[in-house]
Amino acid sequence: AQTVTQSQPEMSVQEAETVTLSCTYDTSESDYYLFWYKQPPSRQMILVIRQEAYKQQNATENRFSVNFQKAAKSFSLKISDSQLGDAAMYFCAYDLGGSEKLVFGKGTKLTVNP
């Protein structure tokens, strides 16, 4: 079974600084997709960034970027120039290609200090 591990239950960062959230996953498949979702206190989960496993280039969305290490099965999220609005729970998720069912990690609570 596929599993997703987020080893940091909580993280904190100073406003304007950079933080990296860790995620590892376990799969024997070669074709899959990886996602980071954000859940702010308002509770609605929103997609932050996604990565196709067959793409070697790391995905980037404005201040958010990933470090995808396929051999190591690692998919970390880097948030640059952290803002107060980045404070949220962050979930890493894995989707076996074509299954359309996501497996989520347990989440990392990010606090941004002013």
Residue 11 in contact with another protein, rule: CB under 8 A: no
Beta strands 19-21; 32-39: pairing state: unpaired
Shortest CB 39 distance to another protein, Å = 8
Shortest CB 54 distance to another protein, Å = 11
Stretch that binds another protein, among 12-20, 43-51, 67-75, 77-85 (CB under 8 A): 43-51
From CA 114, how far away is CA 32, in angstroms rounded?
37
- Whole-angstrom CA distances from 5 to 25, 41, 54, 57 are 6, 22, 21, 22
CA-based radius of gyration for the chain? 13
- Could you list the residues that contact another protein (CB under 8 A)? 6, 9, 33, 35, 37, 42-47, 50, 52, 91, 95, 97-98, 100-107
